[in-house]
A = this chain, B = another copy of it.
Amino acid sequence: MKAFIVHAHPEPNSFTAAMKQLAVDTLRAAGHDVRVSDLYAMKFNPVASGADFRKRSNNDYLVYALEQRHADGTNTLAGDIAGEIEKVVWADLIIFSFPVFWFSVPAIMKGWIDRVLISGRFYGGTRFYDQGGLKGKRALLALTLGGQEHMFEANGIHGPLEDMLRPLLRGTLGYVGFDVLPPFVAWHVPYISAEARQEILDKYRRYLQALHEQRPLRFPSLSDFDSALRPLAMPVNTHRFLKE
């Protein structure tokens, strides 16, 4: 298997970085190929702009998605974007390794999503969800957060974490066609002991060693909708998307 880890944390010695390194070591020890994009170390530019295209189809008015398609077709995407796309295409599995900032990814990783998951190649028209361009690949969020598990129970103060992560799990990874594995969550990290952190690392190692046992989350299928994307039958349960 070929695994690509996209990692973002502003502290190189963070626990999140330790999880990333454990993933590299565990997957390599199991015989897999692993590549890493450490976005802070790369000083990755997260800001989508006209500068992302070496030759624009329209220099007067920027429609970002149209320029993505044009630049991909004419091989004129900015080098940093093209380099990341090459790794995405290469990989069978992509792991997003990050600390939760505002129930989402840090901006530097949001910018990776904005700039690298290009229109045309990875989605477009009715090519999304189970018809997305990255169909057949798997994706995993491996995240750390300050909150505790009980805050994210059904009746917890924030409600289910998967609901907070919906635009990532479903609206991004599911949208481009990935089989999205259940997130690996390291809870309450800033407040726990070294022993508790070691337990999380051990649990993460076991999770990675048994990845094939994980069932992907369920998302809508385009086959349940007509060409205008109106539901063919009622009711379609599009709200819940956890594995059943």
A binding-site residues for B, Cβ under 8 Å: 10-11, 13-14, 40, 46-50, 61-65, 101-108, 110-111, 113-114, 117, 129, 146, 148, 150-151, 154-160, 163-167, 170-172, 175, 190, 220, 222, 225, 228-231, 234-236, 238-239
Q: Are A225 and B157 in contact (CB under 8 A)?
A: yes
Q: How far is the CB of A167 from chain B (nearest CB, A)?
A: 4
Secondary structure type dominating chain A contacts: loop
Chain B residue numbers with a CB within 8 Å of A129 are 157
Question: Nearest B residue to A222 by beta-carbon distance?
Answer: B157
Known A48-B10, A107-B46; judge A171-B114 contact (CB<8 A): no
Chain B residue numbers with a CB within 8 Å of A65 are 146, 190
Question: Nearest B residue to A241 by beta-carbon distance?
Answer: B159
Q: CA of A65 to CA of B150 in the docked complex: distance in angstroms?
A: 22
Give the oligomeric copy count.
2
Question: Nearest B residue to A117 by beta-carbon distance?
Answer: B102
Interface centre among A111, A154, A165 (most CB of B within 10 A): A111
Q: Are B236 and A155 in contact (CB under 8 A)?
A: yes
Q: Are B107 and A107 in contact (CB under 8 A)?
A: yes
Chain B residue numbers with a CB within 8 Å of A104 are 104, 110, 167, 171
Q: CA of A230 to CA of B239 in the docked complex: distance in angstroms?
A: 25
Q: Are B10 and A230 in contact (CB under 8 A)?
A: no
Q: Are B229 and A150 in contact (CB under 8 A)?
A: yes
